[in-house]
Amino acid sequence: MSRVPSALLPLFLLVGAALPAAAQVDLTFDPARTRGPAQAAVTIVEFSDFE
Amino acid sequence: MRLIVKDLPLASHRLARQAAEAARCAGAEGRFWPYHDRLFAEQPRFAEDRLIAYAVDVGLDAETFGRCLTERRFAREVEADLVQARALGLRGTPAFLINGRVVMGAQPVETFRSVIDEALQRGPLPMGKP
């Protein structure tokens, strides 16, 4: 089983509401774990676990 | 709308981290979404033999998948997601960022609709370029 070396892409989000202070947070994501177009007007990042 | 899924296996969920790593193994073979859906359907039955059986069910090779799982090939990637979640102050699941706005927990659909409508009114995501 091979890894996907270039799988993680950067995603820079300006995170504000519901946090103590607005923060610039650098996220990475695996394009294989996305649905919908990259240029969508709304992007939802879901942090979840399976249990 | 675009959905990006990231891992936040909680320490209180004993098998969640291995399940997250298993989903990464499935993703490396192009079967992330079917495996993802299967895990949610079967939770919390995540003993290792079951994780492999689910992989076979979605069309993956048991031996290859099992090796990926036991070697923990994607432990670092799952940990990276955890680090990013902590940086965001996220402590529970599910947690969502909707154009940067945090929504915690399994909220009613009306909550998501409201936050999404608000995001649409605000305009495009203030997302930087790599």
Residue B5: which of A17, A19, A33 has the nearest Cβ? A33
CB pairs under 8 A between A and B: 177
Tell me which chain B residue has its CA closest to the CA of residue A42.
B1
- Per-residue pLDDT of A1-11, as tens digits, reads 434 333 455 55
Inter-chain contact B4–A19, Cβ cutoff 8 Å?
no
The question of ipTM being above 0.85 is answered as yes
- Which of 1-40 (A) contact B at CB < 8 A? 1-4, 8-20, 23-30, 32-38, 40
Q: Is B106 on the interface with A (CB under 8 A)?
A: no
| pTM for the model | 0.83
Angle at B122 between CA A11 and CA A47, to 5 degrees: 40
Dig out the tokens for B1 from the structure: 């709308």
Nearest CA in chain A to B14: A51
Cα→Cα distances B35→A5, A7, A25, B20, Å: 21, 18, 29, 10
pLDDT tens sequence across B79-117: 999 999 998 889 899 999 998 888 999 899 999 999 999
Query: Which one of A9-18, A35-44, B120-129 scores highest in mean pLDDT?
Result: A35-44
